[in-house]
Amino acid sequence: MLADICEMSDDKESYLNQDKTFNYIASVKPNQTLSVDSLDKYRDFLYNTTRLQQNNGRFEGFKASGKVGFIEDEKLQNNLMDLYQENIPQLLSSSDTYIQRKNEWFDFLIKNSGNVTDSTTNLQTILLTDEAQNLCGFLANTSEIINRYNVV
């Protein structure tokens, strides 16, 4: 249980950083440039995905045994059922949708990335294109996922 809480905390932090990353890029106005320092700071969040790896085996075994009804505290019983059958699946659904958008981002990067010189890439240039700005606008909104992590 403690490991799950730590994982969820790390996942939530990752989504907060992705929000900051893509908000920063999407906020750049035409004819402006991106800060090299900011890009370095946010670089890891351009290239990662985050999804809860739920550990629900014990709950599924308990449910399959038919003993859920033996929990006398009705509120606890409802909270357990809500957590595993509503809240976590909603979180995973939101994460999966975000990851689908992030895969579009990866496709964009693969298609458009290149080297300018032996030591520099065209990342800053492609991030300012309309397509990148549109994708960043979509990826800048992680509030639904963060809210669902808070619920779980």
**Range 5-12, long-range pairs (CB < 8 A, 24+ positions):** 7/52, 7/53, 8/52, 8/149, 8/152, 11/50, 11/51, 11/52, 11/149, 12/146, 12/149, 12/150
Q: What is the pLDDT of residue 27?
A: 94
What tens digit of pLDDT does each residue of 35-60 get? 989 999 999 999 999 999 988 877 77
The residue whose two tokens read 């606890």 is: 76
Give the per-residue pLDDT at 55.
Answer: 81
Question: End-to-end alpha-carbon separation of the chain, Å?
Answer: 12
pLDDT at 2: 81
Give the whole-angstrom CA distance, residue 70 versus residue 139.
44
DSSP label at residue 53: -
Q: Is the pLDDT of residue 89 over 90?
A: yes
